[in-house]
Amino acid sequence: MDAVPDMPLLDGLGDDPISVIIAVVALVLLAPFVILVLVAGAEFLLLLLVLPFAILGRALFGRHWTVEVRRGWRPWWEGRAGDWQASASRIHDVAAAIRRGELPERTLGLEEGVER
């Protein structure tokens, strides 16, 4: 047992009142961040667990997909595309039309004729 050298671990931490005050202040300041990281990490892991099933269910059960066109960050147009293959085809068709200069009529981001 004597072959392992003595390591200074945390033997002297908290021996005096100043160290205790520093430790309590650090705990109070850092605890919300630690809790936030733990909660965010758990939520991210839950999302990673559920996401494959959500995508698989949407693809298998034929939920309709929506294709959306944006100009910068503003939504411009959207249309229903059908299943997975139909949405891929619709994306290519709309992209080709935009490349030709045929922008779809605006259906999103309008407020009673006032453009945002």
Average pLDDT, the chain: 82
Which residue type does 61 have?
F
pLDDT of residue 11: 57
Residue 28 φ/ψ region, left for φ over 0, alpha for ψ in the -120 to 50 degree band, beta for the rest: alpha
Alpha-carbon distance 54 to 47, whole Å?
Answer: 10
pLDDT band, residue 9 (cuts 50/70/90): low
pLDDT above 60: residue 112:
no
